[in-house]
Chains A and B, each alone.
Chain A
């Protein structure tokens, strides 16, 4: 069962728990399962169908721009972190594609 490391500021939602063991085969399922135990958890981490841009998720220590359908292994560890910020190794990736014009 995947383990979620609960960020300090979200622990009040989880009765103070620092980790949660939840069911789920994808990142989205894991976060939903965390939300079932800690109501409000999902919305604090996810916005418009993606991890909030000011946050990052690490799966087994690997922080990346994971989509919610990213597979998560049975023994995976999922951590929610602040994005590095400061443009340290930023990659500007527009979500929208607009038609040519102007």
Chain B
């Protein structure tokens, strides 16, 4: 389904091979752990065995005497960080907490919290040396659940933290509730009193990890001139540079970050963990230092997404949703900064609801500091909202999609924060789902059910910078600074090729380091194809202007008399004068020298994305196994630059969402130990667990982008949690409100075996 005219595009909408594909499938692509440098030594981290403890002393003397050990580090050697919150664009971080999460100074706040580090000539020596470091702890009571942490008598992670509430401190006594926010409009009491149907439920979700296949890794060299070079796996080299600069109190210009190929991130490779440690160990040893996490370290010490508690009440009257009330509490982990803000703003976005109140709480617990995970905050919010909507639809005897369509947001609808939507595509998504053969097909058989759900994600803009240099043979080097996670070398190259009217294969994209291009914000927020794509487009237009000027000079006419069309320049007053892009590229030395287009911008006009999903499941009521029989994901993508990569994003998001719904959870023991910190025990879906995910690309172009691009990477993970729960409710007759809906939970619930 599309509302755009594709006939004008030659490159956009095609499915070429990605420029980095051959190197990746032949094993030649360089990832962070592949770095080999002369004199390279290896770092390892000592981590806390306690979920919450005061550090009384750290004795590293014995470790330092081990032959082969070239440096030992504790937090005391990190420069003192300011207790100040710094601007993150769409987030914020306290510098002291950032530094404290890299190496704990006074207290450890979760099991796995880094307390010391060793660099040695071999990883084994480093590991042996860790065993010789003596840390004396005073164990403290830990709090692991968001609701427990909110209690007045809960152990405090920080004794002087008070709840902030829109710029003011709300409480007069310390609390684990770091912040409270609220959205409120209309008359809830009246709406609930006058409703035809009201549903109220409580929901919980567990902490889950992004599960990227490549662990965090960093290699750092503190050079003789005081500069630092870092090779790392990151979603944003410039953000690594800025964070390392703050933690080490060095100017950003002294730090060069070289982004290696990345083996997945999903939001989890934005924070830094290892880079400052590797840099300081390099300074101490005079050698480059490489540190690569084990999978257990990744689970225990890098940012998962929040566990949540959400209480949700909604009402309907005359077939439309009239009121919504929610209390949302998100675990932030050891330091404030969960994605509850995003969750609270996305929860009701698909619907036009007159009366609402949402209270959102950011709560610290003794678990790793959460970080972004694909549409951060939104999936748990949609799980609650879309589950309740499903029940409401049943209560008023409405088809669940028709019910959603009747209350759908559209252009002009205001979000809970007061912002009016520009042109959006939720109605188109629901209509496409309604008309899809999957939805029209009957679902028959015992213990089978069908579920649907919608979801929203904002998508981001932010800063991007590219340079496009024209080669004499008519190819173009596209120099960019956005990490390529999901095929953005291709999607940017395609937009530049379209702009220049030349073949995609003639664009040679490169992702370069922080010394080699202007600032680029992270690859995240589904922003790269939108924002860096906009920069690629602008750089192409820059080249076109320069080429028109060259042609005008050659043809002795004005630039206004030169037209650029489909990769050919023509003189409007003399039809014999014509040059192809390639011909003019060859004449660069004789017409004024090299041509390079450039664009640096803050991309405005990001278009939000909606998705509506349909899933059929079968539940084995004896074993609790849920089989996904069929799954269809419908999504408004604006314009699909490379449809195959768009479909891949949609399918990947769905599979992660299915894992979140059915199996994935951080399983903590009472003493704060994580019991399933390996892929053997942390159950993620494999290709054997899911059917082919059918995709329906809806194209409602974003008016804020020259080619109508919206972001595509995040919204596909928003609906699956609720869609799965709705399907399981249909199949079993029981409404599950706690994730994961694991085999154990299903069996215990359906057979009355719950404790």
Contacts and interface: CB of A to CB of B under 8 A. Distances in A.
A binds B: yes
Contacts of A73: none
Contacts of A97: 251-252
Contacts of B372: 86-90
Contacts of B422: 61
Nearest to B268: A87
A44 interface: yes
A55 B167 CA distance: 8
Nearest to B179: A54
B341 A84 contact: yes
Contacts of B487: none
Contacts of B93: 90, 92
B623 interface: no
Interface string B352-373: 0000010010100000001111
Given A56-B90, A94-B252, A102-B250, A7 B522 contact: no
Nearest to B528: A89
Interface in B480-513: none
A85 B340 contact: yes
Given A85-B340, A92-B86, A58 B417 contact: yes
A45 to B, nearest CB: 6
Contacts of A53: 85-88, 92
Given A54-B179, A56-B90, A44 B185 contact: no
A55 B181 CA distance: 11
Contacts of B246: 92, 94
B533 interface: no
Given A52-B167, A87-B270, A92-B242, A58 B340 contact: no
Interface string A74-102: 00010101111111111111110111111
Contacts, number: 210
Contacts of B305: 86
B458 interface: yes
Interface stretch (B130-138, B200-208, B314-322, B460-468): B460-468
A91 B168 contact: no
B92 A91 contact: no
B461 A90 contact: no
Interface in B334-354: 337-342, 344-345
Given A81-B417, A85-B377, A90 B88 contact: yes
A102 to B, nearest CB: 7
Contacts of B526: 89
Contact of A88 (B91, B236, B254): B91
Nearest to B420: A61
B655 interface: no
B303 interface: yes
A93 B267 contact: no
Interface string B416-442: 011111100000000000000000000
Interface string A1-22: 0000101111100000011000
B89 A54 contact: no
B89 A90 contact: yes
B226 A100 contact: yes
Contact of B271 (A52, A87, A89): A87
A95 B86 contact: yes
Contact of A98 (B90, B250, B345, B420): B250
Contact of A86 (B377, B417, B419, B463): B377
Contacts of A101: 249
Contact of B303 (A19, A83, A87, A89): A87
Contacts of B458: 63, 84
B672 interface: no
Nearest to B180: A9
B524 A85 contact: no
Nearest to A53: B92
A91 B88 contact: yes
B420 A92 contact: no
B90 A91 contact: yes
Given A53-B85, A82-B341, A98-B249, A88 B167 contact: no
B267 A88 contact: yes
Contacts of A58: 417, 419
Interface string A43-54: 111010010111
Contact of B88 (A7, A77, A93): A93
Interface in B238-252: 238-239, 242-243, 245-246, 248-252
A82 B181 CA distance: 8
B460 A89 contact: yes
Given A84-B342, A84-B458, A100-B250, A93 B376 contact: no
Nearest to A58: B419
A102 B167 contact: no
A77 B339 contact: no
B91 A87 contact: yes
Contacts of B462: 89, 91
Contact of B167 (A5, A45, A61): A45
B242 A8 contact: no
Given A54-B179, A94-B246, A85 B87 contact: no
B10 interface: no
Contacts of A18: 185
B86 A54 contact: no
Contacts of B236: 91
A86 B243 contact: no
B376 A82 contact: no
Q: Which of A63, A82, A97, A101 has the most CB of B within 10 A?
A: A82
A10 B166 contact: yes
Contacts of A10: 166
A19 B130 CA distance: 59
Interface in A21-68: 43-45, 47, 50, 52-56, 58, 61-65
A88 B460 contact: yes
Interface in B140-190: 164-168, 179-185
B527 interface: yes
A64 B461 contact: yes
Contacts of B248: 102
A88 B377 CA distance: 9
A98 B183 CA distance: 39
Interface string B293-304: 000000000010
Question: Quick one: which of B238, B254, B376 has the most chain A CB within 10 A?
Answer: B376
B706 interface: no
A87 B267 contact: yes
B733 interface: no
B605 interface: yes
A54 B165 CA distance: 10
B604 interface: yes
B171 to A, nearest CB: 14
In the A-B complex, the 6 residue pairs with the closest CB atoms: A89-B525, A86-B339, A5-B418, A91-B89, A44-B167, A86-B376
29 contacts: A7-B417, A9-B182, A18-B185, A44-B168, A53-B85, A64-B461, A82-B181, A83-B88, A83-B91, A83-B341, A84-B341, A84-B377, A85-B90, A85-B337, A85-B340, A86-B338, A86-B341, A86-B373, A87-B271, A87-B376, A88-B342, A88-B372, A89-B521, A89-B525, A90-B93, A91-B239, A100-B226, A100-B251, A102-B79
Given A77-B420, A89-B525, 6 more contacts: A8-B182, A43-B167, A61-B421, A85-B337, A86-B305, A92-B239
